[in-house]
Structure 1
Amino acid sequence: MTNGMQSHKKEVDEVQTDPEEFNSQSSETDDESSPPTRETSRRKERPPNRRPPASRQATARTGSFRDDVSRSKTQGSQPPGGFSLAGSTAFWGAPPQYGPYVHPEYHSYNPQYGNSEPGKPVWSLAQPLPHVVRDGMRYGALPEDRKEEEREEGRAHPPPAAEEPPTGIPQTEESQQHGEAPPDDSFFNIWGKFRSWAKEPFAEWLGTTVAITLGLCAGLAHYTSEGQAGTYTSQCAAWGFAFMIGIYMAGGVSGAHLNPAITISLSVWRGFPARKCSLYVLAQVLGAITAGGLAYAIYHDAIVELSVKSQVPQAQTTAADALLTGPKSFVAPATAFFNEFLGSAILVGIILALGDDANAPPGAGMQAFIIGIVITVLLLALGYNTGGCFNAPRDFGPRLAVLMAGWGGQVFTENSVWWVWGPWVADIFGGLFGAMVYDLAIFTGGESPINYPPRRRKRALLIKEKNLRDKLHIGRHKIKDIEKAVEENQDE
């Protein structure tokens, strides 16, 4: 066995990685008049390596090009049909740093591969969060700042924020040298172009649909079977791993927020573009509605059977506990509110911690798995009082679906309109609070408003105060010189 492994390792080390180098060596061997040896015959029999140079293998996410220096480390080419779910093998598979095998002609037939908005950051829950430069980190970023500077002589005028996008990342060196730009007209059909334009909302919708559908079905299986299919613990685990699956599905495209509290918190505290928030939330709500309809349709027969056995309307069966959230009859409204508030605060705080590369981020691809565990723990610890929503569309989507199924309008009025002040108000403000606490205690990045420069923060507040006084005609001349007022406040 030992000799066999050594000989196999020797063969692996002898594989040539550069096609030109291999061909040149082969031709030199053919020209020699010496008799063929075992080494040369083995080299002739092996098919030439068809792996493209490493510099032409673009990564799927960033479109960057790899170095030619690492070509000598390649252990072989990917054989046809080598799409293993277990990853690359010791001989045929490419090492992890090379990524998947890419055929030399693949890019000519699929020009959009790897060129999907190159250089744009993704606020993804499946990887560390990007570090961007926000307006609050710059001096003179606000329009009011530039107007004030135009009145002052001798002051340098910083460039407008629009000329230096805060989320811009330079192109790769090779693309800059050749002046390459991602093609915008190389789509296979009209749908491909539309999908590329709306890929982020589509990804959020699909990820939310899959995650909430799996979670709702797990709950319905438990409640409609009257405890025969699963337990409360398994239901909590199903919800956690359902969102893990949703993150893995859409994390590389939209970031897979799957929750308005996460989207809004990332916008306020990490620079996620605010203009995308409404589109993301709309996609999440539509995904939750789709999930509610799918789950109800799949378990409709079971719900009807449970209603007949219990001799109560469907809305009064235990199936409602699986589809909808709400405080128990003995839970006070304040307790229910802060139960959701605390759960969302912990959830968003942990997500920011996992995305903080200056803290202790998990290994590659582990963020989604850990978030699934976190959601499971939150439901086990805080899910009893209110059903553990921590995600507004998770409650709103199924609630709208059962309303259309004929459960009655009381589903939107019960518990003093719980669906508004619980899943929406408590969860969103809880997420913002959790992010603020994490930034106050741990985060050191400049993109958080907590870490804005004091002079910039004071100057922005003074400008807003001056504009408000001008509009209300109250104390209009109290703040004459912005810079002087900033200096006075700093001295205080």
Structure 2
Amino acid sequence: MTDNSESNEIHHEVVLDVNSHASQNCEESGIKDSVPLLKKLVAEVVGTYMMIFAGCAAVIVNLNNDHVVTLPGIAFAWGFTVMVLIYSVGHISGAHFNPAVTIAFASTRRFPFKQVPTYMIAQVLGSTLASGSLRLIFNGEDDHFIGTLPAGSNLQAFVIEFICTFFLMFVITAVATDNRAIGELAGLAIGSTIIIDILFAGPMTGASMNPARSLGPAFLYDNYTGLWIYLIAPILGALVGTWTYNFIRHTNKPTCDELPKIELTKIVPFLRRSRS
């Protein structure tokens, strides 16, 4: 009787597939993923185009209409545009739109080095196309240089751009790579950081924080004044920002290993039958 009762019990086998799913999550959230490179590049071109077009259009409209947009308006235009683009294509390309961000991620092995050149080309292409579109739309008396120029000394501009990009990349690294952060609010946090940076740095440097943002207009308007500042300072600021956050991060493990990735893959009910 005892053997029969035990043999007729219904058991539920819980199968835990830890290793395979951890590696799968690494591939989905890290360097290895299933999105083709071409789709990523198109997303970077389109995203950078929309960001530069919307942000610089706000600058032109402000100059052509007695500063009706105002500095806070320009800041919000840039910040909100980046925010919605992060939610739109962040899951496809990572929504870098910025060579400094791409280089910083690659330096911490969160982005493959071999894709850095193509990402940078896509970002500069998007910026150049947006600048060209704006110059076609706003011509004649409405044609204004939409690039970035230092209002003070080169040293002052360099330091400000470094600090702005440090702040931006520090926040990006925190909200986009740390599993303990609220990832759903990454777009809002990054967009808000851009707004803050532009509010205090916009009048002094244009608050570029992005080599592609400065390169596109420079190509179209053939104005390279102080361009080296906007190429070097953002890259250095982004590198220091991401490495600073990685230093204070609780663990040095990759993002996918910071929290246990244990999932129930299947629950199989079966009846153990006794052998007569």
* 2:182 paired with 1:362: yes
* Structure 1 segments unaligned to the other structure (5+ residues): 1-63, 65-117, 123-129, 133-166, 170-181, 183-194, 307-313, 404-410, 449-492
**Percent sequence identity over aligned pairs:** 29
Task: Give me the whole-angstrom Cα distance separating, in 2, the residues matched to 1:271 and 1:256.
Answer: 14
SS of aligned partner of 1:252: helix
The C-alpha deviation readout for 1:57-94, integer Å capped at 9, x for no partner, is xxxxxxx9xxxxxxxxxxxxxxxxxxxxxxxxxxxxxx
SS of aligned partner of 1:253: helix
The C-alpha deviation readout for 1:324-357, integer Å capped at 9, x for no partner, is 11111xx222111111011111100110111243
Higher strand content, 1 or 2: 2
Q: CA deviation at 1:266?
A: 0.6
* Residue number among 239, 242, 245 corresponding to 1:432 in the alignment: 239
Task: Label 1:363 to 1:341 Cα distance change in 2 as closer, same or farther (>3 A).
Answer: closer
Q: TM-score, normalised by structure 1?
A: 0.44
Task: Give me the whole-angstrom Cα distance separating, in 2, the residues matched to 1:345 and 1:219.
Answer: 24
The C-alpha deviation readout for 1:413-440, integer Å capped at 9, x for no partner, is x3xxx112x1110100110011121122
Return the letter of the residue paired with 1:372: G
In the alignment, which residue of structure 2 is the partner of 1:327?
150
* 2:107 paired with 1:268: yes
Question: In 2, are the aligned partners of 1:288 and 1:394 still within 8 Å (CA)?
Answer: yes
In the alignment, which residue of structure 2 is the partner of 1:200?
40
Question: In 2, are the aligned partners of 1:285 and 1:397 still within 8 Å (CA)?
Answer: yes
Q: CA deviation at 1:296?
A: 1.6
Question: In 1, are the aligned partners of 2:148 and 2:208 still within 8 Å (CA)?
Answer: yes
In the alignment, which residue of structure 2 is the partner of 1:339?
160
In the alignment, which residue of structure 2 is the partner of 1:234?
73
In the alignment, which residue of structure 2 is the partner of 1:388?
207
* Residue number among 53, 59, 63 corresponding to 1:219 in the alignment: 59
* 2:52 paired with 1:245: no
SS of aligned partner of 2:195: helix
* 2:240 paired with 1:419: no
In the alignment, which residue of structure 2 is the partner of 1:446?
253
In the alignment, which residue of structure 1 is the partner of 2:258?
none
More RCO (CA 8 Å, sep 6+): 2
Task: Give me the whole-angstrom Cα distance separating, in 2, the residues matched to 1:216 and 1:120.
Answer: 37
Task: Label 1:119 to 1:433 Cα distance change in 2 as closer, same or farther (>3 A).
Answer: closer
SS of aligned partner of 2:97: coil
In the alignment, which residue of structure 1 is the partner of 2:269?
none
Task: Give me the whole-angstrom Cα distance separating, in 2, the residues matched to 1:400 and 1:232.
Answer: 25
Question: In 2, are the aligned partners of 1:211 and 1:245 still within 8 Å (CA)?
Answer: no
Task: Label 1:294 to 1:446 Cα distance change in 2 as closer, same or farther (>3 A).
Answer: same
Higher helix content, 1 or 2: 2
Q: CA deviation at 1:270?
A: 4.0
Task: Give me the whole-angstrom Cα distance separating, in 1, the residues matched to 2:202 and 2:123.
Answer: 22
SS of aligned partner of 2:92: coil
- Give structure 1 regions of 4+ aligned residues with deviation exceeding 3 angstroms: 118-122, 356-359
Task: Label 1:258 to 1:121 Cα distance change in 2 as closer, same or farther (>3 A).
Answer: farther
Task: Label 1:274 to 1:348 Cα distance change in 2 as closer, same or farther (>3 A).
Answer: same
Q: CA deviation at 1:243?
A: 1.4
Task: Give me the whole-angstrom Cα distance separating, in 2, the residues matched to 1:375 and 1:356.
Answer: 18
Task: Label 1:443 to 1:343 Cα distance change in 2 as closer, same or farther (>3 A).
Answer: farther
Q: CA deviation at 1:168?
A: 5.5
Q: CA deviation at 1:197?
A: 5.5
* Residue number among 193, 197, 215 corresponding to 1:374 in the alignment: 193
In the alignment, which residue of structure 2 is the partner of 1:408?
none
Q: CA deviation at 1:446?
A: 2.5
Q: CA deviation at 1:249?
A: 2.7
* Structure 2 segments unaligned to the other structure (5+ residues): 1-20, 256-276
> What is the root-mean-square deviation of aligned Cα atoms in Å?
2.4
Q: CA deviation at 1:121?
A: 3.8
- Aligned pairs for 1:51-70 (under 5 A) are none
Question: In 1, are the aligned partners of 2:160 and 2:205 still within 8 Å (CA)?
Answer: yes
Task: Give me the whole-angstrom Cα distance separating, in 1, the residues matched to 2:37 and 2:189.
Answer: 31
* 2:141 paired with 1:305: yes
Point out the structure with max Rg over C-alpha. Answer: 1
* Residue number among 76, 89, 96 corresponding to 1:257 in the alignment: 96
Task: Give me the whole-angstrom Cα distance separating, in 1, the residues matched to 2:250 and 2:85.
Answer: 27
Task: Label 1:223 to 1:168 Cα distance change in 2 as closer, same or farther (>3 A).
Answer: closer
SS of aligned partner of 1:198: helix
Task: Label 1:443 to 1:391 Cα distance change in 2 as closer, same or farther (>3 A).
Answer: farther
Task: Give me the whole-angstrom Cα distance separating, in 1, the residues matched to 2:110 and 2:203.
Answer: 34
Question: In 2, are the aligned partners of 1:270 and 1:447 still within 8 Å (CA)?
Answer: no
Q: CA deviation at 1:226?
A: 2.2
Q: CA deviation at 1:252?
A: 1.4
